[in-house]
């Protein structure tokens, strides 16, 4: 089987993490890379992502992948004719619309990390229909995924309902010690801000986890519930002692992270409750799901699912599913069972 | 949306449990029922399964469903033209081949509980190809599922690998206190036998959990591993004190259940290890998955997933996926994300 040829668009922390995995797994070859940052322009991708792929070594080049970072996605895509584009540029569906349109004009399937695109039918129905139409016209599939939204607070609890005779309530908790996460994530959760600064950032939308509403909508559709409304509430978590991480130190009284609650209501009854805590110094990271119904189910992943690694992984692992899917906009709900893909036991370990 | 019309074939404990759920969920109507047992012949299905459906009540009949248990599946199917047949007759793929052929001649999709059919490509490749050919010719989909095989020791651990960058080893444990299970299950695990009787029953194949090899093959294919061999070892669990359940009491020294280990090897290295304990008096029931790789993952469902309820549930929940699937033989690996289906929040609770 020949390797799947990929163009990476967007080389921020997640895009770099995805590109590293693509380089290291035998099933893939990166044939092009794109970023808008002029400082990254014309760099060799291997230098940018800091990997020494065995295949590059074999070609006698220590780190060079032979892929230069370009500025214009359609030019690179037309020149390299990849099997798929991985798009890691923005959380905002409106932000990626022009990129999606341009890429889909080249008739290339897309796997994206855009949180709002993970399940856009509820929050952005017009954009969802438009993207679906572009994808169908191009006869290719589009998916947005990640660990959250995309897995921990939607696909995983949905899968657990499959063994239930009756489901009355679904709750999910994701608690993460943000000290192990990258700096942009720590900034996204407001670490180091005053309460007042935090509130301003919440109001302008720069401090928040994007995806709770999308996850709730996905769960509700999966189990066949008509929700009356979905709420998404953000609160600061304040440090009570000085917390020091690799990138930041936070003094007592300052914000060390975020507590976010998404609730889906059936009438006035909360039937889906998603609770997220991400802050520097959380004593225990974990993911947990409780399903009330028959039978009741209580699942816990001790230590949690690491956000950055897991998002890059599920993007890479989903590529083969997207290549096998019917044309159109897909979500984790309608694609085949998620699974690892593209490594090998001998070379991987 | 009009209800999905179902014929239930096989009315042992699991078939009855499935039929009960079908009667109680608004999305389904049972239009026919079949069992080979002459004692069940011509009984009203409502009397046999012991339910008082609200819809039957509305028709002024306390328990009668108006569905008599018949003896011949094709006759009933031709008379009622169901959307799907639920087949709960045997663990053995060879045992159900004639039934599958007959039902598929009527061009009706099938959801089955036949353990060996859950992932038959490794253990029964010839039968798998034959069933796939029959299903494609009939232009309908066929699936076999259940909690195990079908979910706890295959689909669920497979889904968890989706967040991994690298997978080196997958282990799954399923420990169940068999006191809460039905009598045929307790007999299937050898409860009450002497060690010698147990060994004879293991040798003649009547004492064993069917499905570990199928689950291992499904996991290996999902993550792309070529296994060198799969082993399946059965040991008795002996009572150390007298254990009393609803159906059976077991004295010290007698068998109270089963310990079964399935191992998938890559070369000489065990890379998939499934460990099952099902015995009267197990102190804690649980399902657990550990994935070694990057990141490591450790998941536990405290209290476990109840076997009988969960198998009936996942069969009923999978019906809509099978109706939406392409013609051919499917497995839980290639169908869309498993999920609850067919109840409603108001009527269900």
**Residues of A whose CB is below 8 A from B159:** 155-156, 159, 337-339
pLDDT greater than 90 at residue B308: no
Does residue B150 belong to any structural domain of this protein?
no
The token pair that represents B79 in the structure block: 């008379």
Strand-pairing partners, residue A336, are B336
Q: Are B133 and B105 in contact (CB under 8 A)?
A: no
Classify burial at A311, counting beta carbons within 10 Å of its beta carbon; exposed 0-12, middle 13-18, buried 19 or more: buried
Count up the domains in chain B and report the number: 2
Nearest to B231 by CA among B291, B259, B273: B273
| Interface contact B151, partner A, CB < 8 A | yes
Q: Which residue has the tokens 């035998």?
A: A26
pLDDT score recorded for residue A230:
98
Instruction: State mean pLDDT over B164-188.
Output: 92
Q: Are A84 and A322 in contact (CB under 8 A)?
A: yes
Q: Would you call A174 helix, strand, or coil by DSSP? A: strand
**Considering chain B, what percentage of its residues have pLDDT values greater than 90?**
86
A310 to B298: CB separation less than 8 angstroms, yes or no: no
Q: Are residues B12 and B123 in the same domain?
A: yes
Degrees, nearest 5: CA angle B220-B234-B155: 30
Give the residue numbers spanning the domain of B326. Answer: 4-145+309-348
The token pair that represents B238 in the structure block: 């002996």
Phi, psi of B267 (to 5 degrees): 60, -125
Phi, psi of B160 (to 5 degrees): -65, -30
Nearest to B69 by CA among B115, B111, B30: B30
Q: Are residues B187 and B327 in the same domain?
A: no
- Whether the upstream peptide bond of residue A295 has omega within 30° of 0, thus cis, is yes
> How far from B103 is each of A15, A339, A345, B140, B144, CA to CA, in Å?
50, 32, 41, 11, 14
pLDDT score recorded for residue A187:
87
The CATH number of residue A258's host domain is 3.30.360
pLDDT greater than 50 at residue B80: yes
Helix axes A125-138, A93-105, angle to 10 degrees: 10
Q: Are residues B291 and B329 in the same domain?
A: no
Q: Are residues B163 and B242 in the same domain?
A: yes
The token pair that represents A113 in the structure block: 């990390």
Q: Which residue has the higher pLDDT, B321 or A187?
A: B321
Q: Are residues B173 and B102 in the same domain?
A: no
Classify burial at B62, counting beta carbons within 10 Å of its beta carbon; exposed 0-12, middle 13-18, buried 19 or more: exposed
Classify burial at B1, counting beta carbons within 10 Å of its beta carbon; exposed 0-12, middle 13-18, buried 19 or more: exposed
The CA distance from B96 to B98, in Å, is 6
Residues of B (183-222) whose Cβ lies below 8 Å from A: 222
Tell me the pLDDT tens digit for each residue of B200-249: 999 999 999 999 999 999 999 999 999 999 999 999 999 999 998 888 89
Q: Which of A345, A347, A349 to mutate to test the interface with B (most CBs of B within 10 A)?
A: A345
Q: Are residues A167 and A273 in the same domain?
A: yes
The size of chain B, in residues, is 349
Phi, psi of B297 (to 5 degrees): -135, 140
Cβ neighbours of residue B251 closer than 8 Å, sequence gap 6 or more: B239, B242
For residue B9, the tally of other CB atoms under 10 A from its CB is 26
The token pair that represents A132 in the structure block: 């679906």
Q: Are residues B164 and B298 in the same domain?
A: yes
**Considering chain B, what percentage of its residues have pLDDT values greater than 70?**
95
Q: Which residue has the tokens 């998916």?
A: A143
Q: Would you call B26 helix, strand, or coil by DSSP? A: coil
Q: Are residues B344 and B271 in the same domain?
A: no
The CA distance from A61 to A339, in Å, is 33
Chain B, nearest residue to A164 by Cα: B313
Classify burial at A238, counting beta carbons within 10 Å of its beta carbon; exposed 0-12, middle 13-18, buried 19 or more: middle
| Interface contact B169, partner A, CB < 8 A | no
Chain B, nearest residue to A24 by Cα: B165
A162 to B306: CB separation less than 8 angstroms, yes or no: no
The token pair that represents B219 in the structure block: 């996991």
Instruction: State mean pLDDT over B170-181.
Output: 94
Q: Are residues B79 and B180 in the same domain?
A: no
Nearest to A232 by CA among A123, A310, A334, A138: A123
Q: What share of chain A is helix, strand, coil (3-state, %, to 5)?
A: 35, 30, 40
**Residues of B whose CB is below 8 A from A165:** 21, 309, 312-313, 316
Which of the 8 DSSP states describes residue B291?
E
Does residue B300 belong to any structural domain of this protein?
yes
Q: Would you call A19 helix, strand, or coil by DSSP? A: helix
Nearest to B78 by CA among B39, B106, B113: B106
Does residue B331 belong to any structural domain of this protein?
yes
Partner residue facing B309 (CB), from A295, A303, A314: A295
The CA distance from A319 to B192, in Å, is 51
Degrees, nearest 5: CA angle B306-B311-B314: 115
pLDDT score recorded for residue A295:
95
Tell me the pLDDT tens digit for each residue of B233-246: 999 999 999 998 88
Which of the 8 DSSP states describes residue A285?
-
Tell me the CB-side half-sphere exposure of residue B197, using CA atoms within 13 A.
14
The token pair that represents B34 in the structure block: 């079949």
Sheet of B84-87, strands arranged across: B69-70, B28-34, B4-9, B84-87, B110-112, B141-144, B328-330
Kind and range of the H or E element at A48? helix A45-49
Residues of B (273-332) whose Cβ lies below 8 Å from A: 293-303, 305-306, 309-310, 312-314, 316-318, 332
| Interface contact B163, partner A, CB < 8 A | yes
Instruction: State mean pLDDT over B85-103.
Output: 97
The CA distance from A242 to A43, in Å, is 39
How high is the mean pLDDT of chain B?
93
pLDDT greater than 60 at residue B349: no
| Interface contact A341, partner B, CB < 8 A | yes
Q: Would you call A348 helix, strand, or coil by DSSP? A: helix
The CA distance from A107 to A96, in Å, is 16
Degrees, nearest 5: CA angle A109-A110-A112: 170
Q: Are B333 and A340 in contact (CB under 8 A)?
A: no
The size of chain A, in residues, is 349
pLDDT greater than 60 at residue B262: yes
Q: Are A179 and A245 in contact (CB under 8 A)?
A: yes
**Residues of B whose CB is below 8 A from A225:** 345
Dihedral sign (CA B298, A313, A216, B111): negative
Q: What share of chain B is helix, strand, coil (3-state, %, to 5)?
A: 35, 30, 40
Residue stretches of chain A with pLDDT short of 70:
1, 52-63, 346-349
**Residues of B whose CB is below 8 A from A271:** 345
The CATH number of residue B88's host domain is 3.40.50.720
| Interface contact B153, partner A, CB < 8 A | no
The CA distance from B194 to B198, in Å, is 6
pLDDT greater than 60 at residue B55: no
Q: What is the ipTM of this complex?
A: 0.95
Nearest to A84 by CA among A341, A347, A348: A341
Q: Are B166 and B300 in contact (CB under 8 A)?
A: no
Q: Which residue has the higher pLDDT, B348 or A221?
A: A221
Q: Are residues B115 and B164 in the same domain?
A: no
Residues of A (75-134) whose Cβ lies below 8 Å from B: none
Q: Are residues A15 and A37 in the same domain?
A: yes
pLDDT score recorded for residue A349:
36
The CA distance from B230 to B216, in Å, is 8
Which of the 8 DSSP states describes residue A44?
B
The CA distance from B64 to B105, in Å, is 30
The token pair that represents B334 in the structure block: 């290639």
pLDDT class for B184, splitting at 50, 70, 90? confident
Q: Which residue has the tokens 């000085």?
A: A242
Q: Which residue has the tokens 């975020």?
A: A258
Q: Are residues B179 and B292 in the same domain?
A: yes
């Amino acid at each position: 089987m020949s390797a799947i040829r990929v163009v990476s668009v967007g080389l921020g922390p997640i895009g770099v993490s995805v590109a590293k995995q693509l380089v290291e797994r035998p099933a893939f070859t990166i044939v092009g890379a794109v970023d808008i940052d002029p400082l990254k322009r014309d760099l060799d991708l291997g230098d940018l992502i800091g990997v020494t792929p065995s295949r590059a070594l074999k070609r006698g080049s220590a780190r060079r992948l032979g892929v230069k970072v370009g500025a214009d996605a359609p030019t690179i895509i037309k020149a390299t004719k990849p099997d798929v584009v991985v798009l890691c540029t923005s959380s905002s569906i409106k932000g990626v619309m022009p990129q999606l349109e341009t890429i889909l004009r080249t008739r290339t399937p897309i796997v994206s990390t855009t949180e709002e695109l993970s399940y856009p039918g509820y929050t952005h129905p017009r954009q969802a229909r438009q993207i679906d139409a572009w994808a169908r016209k191009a006869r290719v599939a589009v998916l947005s995924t990640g660990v959250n939204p995309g897995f921990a607070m939607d696909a995983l609890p949905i899968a657990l309902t499959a063994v239930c005779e009756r489901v009355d309530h679904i709750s999910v908790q994701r608690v993460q010690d943000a000290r192990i996460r990258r700096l942009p994530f720590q900034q996204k959760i407001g670490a180091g801000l005053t309460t007042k600064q935090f509130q301003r950032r919440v109001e302008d939308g720069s401090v928040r986890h994007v995806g709770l509403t999308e996850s709730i909508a996905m769960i509700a559709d999966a189990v066949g519930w008509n929700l009356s409304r979905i709420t998404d509430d953000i609160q600061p978590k304040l440090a009570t002692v000085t917390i020091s991480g690799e990138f930041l130190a936070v003094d007592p009284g300052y914000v060390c992270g975020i507590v976010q609650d998404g609730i889906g209501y059936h009438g006035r009854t909360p039937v889906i409750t998603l609770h997220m805590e991400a802050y520097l110094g959380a004593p225990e990271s974990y993911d947990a799901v409780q399903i009330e119904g028959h039978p009741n189910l209580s699942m816990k992943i001790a230590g949690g699912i690491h956000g950055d690694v897991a998002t890059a992984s599920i993007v890479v692992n989903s590529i083969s599913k997207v290549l096998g899917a019917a044309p159109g906009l897909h979500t984790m709900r309608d694609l085949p069972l998620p699974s690892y893909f593209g490594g090998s036991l001998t070379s991987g370990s």
